[in-house]
Amino acid sequence: MSRPGVRRAIALAGAAALAAAGGLVSAPPAASAGSVTATCTKTSDWGTGFQGGCTITNGTDAAVDGWTLEGDLPSGTSIGATWDAKKTVSGNHYTFTDAGWNKTIAPGASASFGFGGTGAGWFTGCTINGAACDGSGGPGPGDDTEAPGAPSGLRATGTSATSVTLAWTAATDNVGVTGYDVYRGDAKVQSATGTEATVTGLTAETAYTFTVKARDAAGNVSAASNAVSVTTDAGGGEPGPGGDKVIGYFAQWGVYQRNYHVKNIHTSGSAEKLTHINYAFGNVSGGKCTIGDAFADYQKSYTAEQSVDGVADTWDQELRGSFNQLRKLKKMYPHIKVLWSFGGWTWSGGFGQAAQNPQAFAESCYDLVEDPRWADVFDGIDIDWEYPNACGLSCDTSGPEAFENLMGALRTKFGDDNLVTAAITADASDGGKLEKTDYAGAAQYVDWYLPMTYDFFGAWAKQGPTAPHSPLTSYPGIPQQGFNSADTIAKLKSMGVPASKLLLGIGFYGRGWTGVTQSEPGGTATGPAPGTYEAGIEDYKVLKSRCPATGTVAGTAYAKCGSEWWSYDTPSTIGGKMGWAKDEGLGGAFFWELSGDTTGGELITSMRSGLG
C-alpha cells in the first residue's frame, strides 16, 4: 500500500509568486518581532476575480491556540470558496477562524488558508487575534487577561441513540473568541470553533448534562454556559454522524529490520483503540491466494519476552509466527477483528489472472483464510488490487467489470458471516483510476472500502514541486487536481457508494525531498530525502523529532529542516481529519501502518479520540 511511484506528481503549472501579487500586508516590520502577524496576498488576479491566501506567523515564544483573522472588503468585492479556515461575513466585514486541525501554531511556525473571490478590490483593516496584522498596536503577548463572557442559549438541536448535537449563542470578548469547549459534566468532550458541536460515543436511553465554555487567543476561559440535560434515543435509531472504525495495517515484514511485532500493538496501547487489523500481505499467484511469507506468518518462534502473553512458543506447537501472536492478541482484546489482506503494490500483478476465474480464486482464498491451523485468527478478507483495469507496478487490462465480478465471487464464498473489504485507489482526477473500473457496482459486495488517501505526491517526482502526500482538500498550486481526500470521497459518493462504506486513509509516515530552499509547498528539489529504510519516506516516530512540523496546508503538516522538506500527519492534523470524516458520515478511518507510530501510540490515540 505504501510504495513509491504509486501515483505520479505532475509539474506545477501557472504558479504565481506571492510576492508579486498585491497584499494586505506585504511583510511584518522589524518592530513586529515577538508578535503574531499575518500576510495576505493575491496569488492570481484576472481583473474580475482572484485567488488569494493568508499566512499567520507566530513570532512569539509561546504556542498560539486558535486564531481569528478579520478584514473589510470594498463594495463590489467578495470572497466565496474558502479552504483551511472557517469564514463568516457581516456586510463587508470578513472573519476567518482556524479550521480546528490548524488552530495550534508553534513558536516560529505558521498556518495558511486560501480563498477565491470576485471583484477588483482587496482587504483593509486586517487584524489577527484582535491585533494589527503587521504586529503594530493592539494587545501584545500576555497583555490580554480578560476572559470572554459565558456562552448563552445552550440547547440540544438533535439526538440519536449515540450522539447529541448542541448549539449555543456566541460569546463576546474584548479581543476575540477563538473557540469553545464542550463539557459533559466535568469532562471536556469536544472543541469547536463555531457555535455548534456533535458529541458522539454516547449510550442509548441515557441522560447527559452539557455545558460550554469560550476561550480566547490568550488562553483565558469563560465561565460555563447554562447547563442542558439531554436523554439519548433508544437503541436501533439512526447512528450519529460517522462511524467509529479504526483499522490498522500490520506489515508482516515489520518483524525483521523494524523489530515490530504483534506484542507492540499491545504495549503501545494501540490494541484497545483498534477495531480491526489488516494483516498485510498474502500473495496472489497462479490465479489463487497464496502465502506471502511463511516464516513471518506462521513459522517464526517467539520467546516469552517477545510474546503477547509472556508465554514462549514450543518446538512442537502447530502454529507459531505472527498468526499465533494475533490469536493471543484477540484473546486479550476480544473486540478486535483481523482480516487477511491480499495483494498490495508488489503482489497485485496476480489479480489479472485471478479475475479470469473469480470463483476459483474465491475458493482458493477461502480455503487459505479458513485453514484449520489459523481459521480462528481471521474474520474475513481484504483485497488490495493496485489497480483494476489501470496501471500500478504493472498495467492491468482485465476490464472495468473484473473487479465487481471478483468481489462478488468473494462475497458468495465467504458469506455474510465474514468480512469482505477492499483497499482502492484514491485518484479522483478526470479520467483517473477511479473511473477505470466499476467501484460502485462492486460496493454491494463489500463491507467497506479503504480509499488510499495518501501517497498523492512524493519524491518519485525528484525535482518536485514539494507537496503534501496526503492533502485533505485541494489548495492553490496543488500539482494535480483530484489528488486529495475530499475529492476522492466526493467522487465515490457521486458514483453511488454509501458514505458509511467509506473510510478515510491516514499515513503514519512522511514523504520528503532534499535540495529544497522554499519553506512553503511548491518548491523545487534535487531528489528524495534520506530515509531509514527507503529514500523519500520516513516514519512519523522519526520525523516528529528529526524534522518537526513548521506549517500546515490542506489539512496536513509540512516541515522544512535544512535542505529537506517533508509532509506528514501529526496528532493535531489527524484530529482535524477525523472531525471531517465524522462530518462526512464516513464509516471511520484506517492507517498504513502500525510500526510508524510512536511507542506510546500518539497517532492512533488522536484517531480514536477524533472519531469518538
Query: Is residue 550 included in any domain, yes or no?
Result: no
User: Averaged over 41-53, what is the pLDDT?
Assistant: 77
pLDDT in the model for residue 200: 66
Given a cut of 50, is residue 16 above it in pLDDT?
A: no
Domain boundary among 209, 231, 253: 231
Same-domain pairing of 408 and 484: yes
**For residue 242, what pLDDT is reported?**
60
For residue 123, what pLDDT is reported?
86
pLDDT at position 471, please?
A: 96
Last residue of a domain, one of 98, 132, 166: 132
What is the distance, to the nearest Å, from the Cα of residue 526 to the centroid of all Cα atoms in its chain? 28
- Verify that 286 and 432 share a domain, yes or no: yes
Asked if 155 and 228 touch (Cβ cutoff 8 Å), the reply is yes
Residues 105 and 157 in one domain: no
Read off the pLDDT of residues 443-455 as tens digits, 9 standing for 90 and up.
Answer: 999 999 999 999 9
Average pLDDT over residues 562-589: 94
Question: Does residue 23 register a pLDDT over 70?
Answer: no
What is the reported pTM?
A: 0.65
pLDDT tens figures, 24-33: 443 333 334 4
Catalytic annotation on 386? yes
Please give the full DSSP string across 58-97, using - where no structure is assigned: E-SSS-EE--EEEEE--TT-EEEEEESEEEEEETTEEEEE
524 within domain boundaries = no
CA distance 405 to 222: 59
Q: Is residue 268 part of a domain?
A: yes
One domain, residues 250 and 344? yes
Comparing 164 with 421, the larger pLDDT belongs to 421
CA-based nearest residue to 298, from 354, 361, 377: 377
Mean pLDDT, the chain, whole residue set: 87
Query: Does residue 310 have a pLDDT over 90?
Result: yes
Instruction: State the pLDDT at residue 525.
Output: 98
Which pLDDT does position 201 carry in this prediction?
62
Q: What is the extent of the structural domain holding 602? A: 245-507+572-611
Q: Is residue 522 situated within a structural domain?
A: no
**pLDDT over threshold 80, residue 277:** yes
- What pLDDT sits at residue 100? 81
114 and 188, same domain (yes or no): no
**102-106, 389-393, 504-508: segment of lowest average pLDDT:** 102-106
DSSP labels, 525-565: -SEEPP-SSBTTEEEHHHHHHHS---EEETTEEEEEETTEE
Q: What pLDDT, on a 0 to 100 scale, did the predictor assign at position 333?
A: 95
Q: In this model, does residue 327 exceed pLDDT 90? A: yes
DSSP assignment of 137-199 equals: SS--TTT--PPPPPPEEEEEEEE-SS-EEEEEEPP--SS-EEEEEEEETTEEEEEESSSEEEE
Residues 374 and 502 both lie in one domain: yes
Q: Is 90 exceeded by the pLDDT of residue 470?
A: yes
Rounded mean pLDDT of 209-222?
A: 84
Q: Are residues 424 and 392 in the same domain?
A: yes
Question: Quick check: is 552 in a domain?
Answer: no
Give the domain-ending residue among 66, 100, 132: 132
| Together in a domain, 386 and 310 | yes
pLDDT in tens, 284-308: 999 999 999 999 999 999 999 999 9
- Whether the per-residue pLDDT at 239 is higher than 70: the answer is no
- If pLDDT is split at 50, 70 and 90, which confidence band does 166 have? confident
Task: Classify residue 556: in a domain, yes or no.
Answer: no
Q: List the catalytic residue out of 70, 386, 435, 520.
A: 386
402 and 500, same structural domain?
yes
Is the pLDDT assigned to residue 270 strictly greater than 60? yes
* Confidence class for position 8, pLDDT limits 50, 70, 90: very low
Number of folded domains in the chain? 3
If you search the block for the grid coordinates 442542558, which residue do you land on? 228
The verdict on 219 and 332 lying in the same domain is no
Indicate whether 535 belongs to any domain: no
Establish if 581 belongs to a structural domain: yes
Per-residue pLDDT reduced to its tens digit, 494-532 = 999 999 999 999 999 999 999 999 999 999 999 999 999
What's the CATH code of the domain at 227?
2.60.40.10
Nearest partner of 453 among 300, 320, 580, judged by Cα: 580
Task: Give yes or no for residue 459 having a pLDDT over 80.
Answer: yes
Q: Are residues 215 and 249 in the same domain?
A: no
Report which of residues 468 and 205 the model is more confident about: 468
Instruction: Provide the grid cell at 506.
Output: 491516514
CA of residue 45 relative to chain centroid, distance? 32
Is 55 found in the same domain as 99? yes
Residue 440 maps to which CATH number?
A: 3.20.20.80
Residue 13 has pLDDT above 50, yes or no: no
Q: What is residue 60's predicted lDDT score, i.e. its pLDDT?
A: 87
Maximum average pLDDT range among 27-36, 163-172, 329-338:
329-338
Q: What is the pLDDT of residue 147?
A: 87
